[in-house]
Amino acid sequence: MRAMRDAGVPVGLGVDGSASNDTGNLMAEARQAMLLQRVQNGADAMSAKEALWIATRGGADVLGRDDCGQIAVGKRADIAIWDAGAVEMAGAWDPAALILAGPSRVDALFVEGRQIVGEGRVLTIDLPTVVARQHVLARKLAGLG
- Our CA angle for 61, 19, 51, nearest 5°, is 35
On whether residue 54 sits in a domain, the answer given is yes
| Structure-model confidence comparison of residues 24 and 38, the more confident one | 38
Domains: count for the chain = 1
CA distance 30 to 13: 7
Per-residue pLDDT reduced to its tens digit, 127-142: 999 999 999 999 999 9
Give residue-wise pLDDT tens across range 63-90.
999 898 888 888 888 888 988 888 888 8
Query: Would you put residue 52 in left (φ > 0), alpha (ψ -120 to 50) or beta?
Result: alpha
- Does residue 98 form part of some domain? no
How are beta strands 121-122 and 108-111 bridged, if at all? unpaired
On whether residue 73 sits in a domain, the answer given is: yes
Q: Which domain holds residue 42?
A: 2-79
